[in-house]
Structure 1
Amino acid sequence: MDYLKREKIMGEIRSAKEIAAERLKNIGEITEEDRLRWKFVPAGEKLGQRYMSERLDIENELGKFDQKQLPFVKQGMTQSLLIYLDLPRNETIEKRNFKVMEGLMQIKEDKQSAAAALGQLQRIFDHYAQQGEAQRTQAKQALKTKFEQSLRQALRAQGKEFPSQMNVEQLPQFEEEWRRTLSQLEQQYIKSLDDLKKYLVQIQ
């Protein structure tokens, strides 16, 4: 029995080695570009994180890398900064978005394309904060009215009155339904934001 188990394990090890060898064969020879990417994209990501958490002179930091390394550092930094971009649901996010956009503008060499993309981004944020806010207010009021009417009918069927001090917005069912509604309202903005993020990654 032990012999059979040992043979089975050895067979599995051989299979694993064969799979690993096949994968290495498919990958092919590791190039200098691969090595640069593996080392300096993460370095750029760390720079992006530092920029968001402390005062950082981007130009000075980028000056520490040579021309071969720099594109990968900028790629990593761009990817890192874009993670912080979000719909301006409050003042904190709004300030963070502004810092991200300032950083991206410093990183990009194609200033014209970067400025155009960031301008589109700002228009999305402005629309979300202005027209979008009015839309969300109306949707929330409509949902509140719907809940109040349903609750009144349910209480009336039981011979009870609707409590004047009751706030349906505090009900777990209302909160859950509102989160679902809000997610649907924000979907169009999130799609536009994601599309612009992808475009910003491509800008040199």
Structure 2
Amino acid sequence: MNRMKTAFEKAMERVEQMDEPGKEEKLEWKLIPVGQRLAGTYIKGGEGVFDDLESFEKDDQPYLVKGMIEVFVSNVQIPKSEAQKETNARVIDGIRRVLGDRPKCGEALEHLEYVLEQYWQFGREQRTQAFEQLKAQIEQQVYEVLSRQTGGSHQGMKVNVEAMPEFQQQWLRISGQLNVPYETHLQEYKKQIMDLL
């Protein structure tokens, strides 16, 4: 009688049928995470990471660079705060130091910086205006409902509309809509940088 194989036995059979990873795959598995750690260290303020990068053999450096650029690119975000603006500047400096001599790198970084600066100058103001408009609109709706329910005796009542689920839901939707053009361009230029690898 044939015995049924367990899921573990079936999985082990599939593993045995797999090809042995090549030298390049092994180097990727080993060195990309090292590059990612170097980038993380640099973002947090470490300065010696580029010397560390140069200390590796030339054949290993492309894998390290790939890991670094992956982390740098993933850390570029719309600057909603001064801290994020500073992080973006540091990340762009890191990309420039790693890829600066590659064709089209400067152009992609200029476009990236332009989108981030446009958001910093105009996008934040748009968000603030939209936030205040939504807040006033929801407050008016709440006070109208209170007037109907209490016969107009809601004077002096304070309502924290920002804590209301309806406000939060609408703000999330509006905020997302305001960010779409910036995010779209940001993703496009991030992809251009990744394509340089």
Task: Compute the TM-score of the two structures, normalised by the length of structure 1.
Answer: 0.82
Do the aligned partners of 1:151 and 1:162 also contact (CA within 8 Å) in 2? no
For residues 184-203 of structure 1, the aligned pairs below 5 Å read 184-203=177-196
Do the aligned partners of 2:31 and 2:60 also contact (CA within 8 Å) in 1? yes
1:69 maps to 60
- Which amino acid is 2:190 matched to? K
For residues 28-177 of structure 1, the aligned pairs below 5 Å read 28-108=19-99, 110-158=101-149, 159-164=151-156, 166=158, 168-173=160-165, 174-177=167-170
For residues 8-27 of structure 1, the aligned pairs below 5 Å read 11-13=4-6, 16-25=8-17, 27=18
Aligned-pair CA distance for 1:22: 3.4
Secondary structure at the counterpart of residue 4 of structure 2: helix
* From 161, 167, 181, the counterpart of 2:174: 181
Do the aligned partners of 2:78 and 2:119 also contact (CA within 8 Å) in 1? yes
Partner Cα distance (1:59, 1:44) in 2: 10
Do the aligned partners of 1:81 and 1:104 also contact (CA within 8 Å) in 2? yes
Aligned-pair CA distance for 1:129: 1.6
Aligned-pair CA distance for 1:124: 0.9
Aligned-pair CA distance for 1:42: 0.9
Do the aligned partners of 1:144 and 1:168 also contact (CA within 8 Å) in 2? no
Q: Which ranges of structure 2 fall in alignment gaps of 5 or more residues?
A: none
Post-superposition Cα deviations, 1:78-135, rounded to whole Å, max 9, x if no partner, equal 1122222211001001001100000111111544422111111111111212221232
Structure with the greater alpha carbon radius of gyration:
1
Secondary structure at the counterpart of residue 47 of structure 2: coil
Change in CA separation of 1:59 and 1:171 when aligned onto 2, cut-off 3 Å: closer
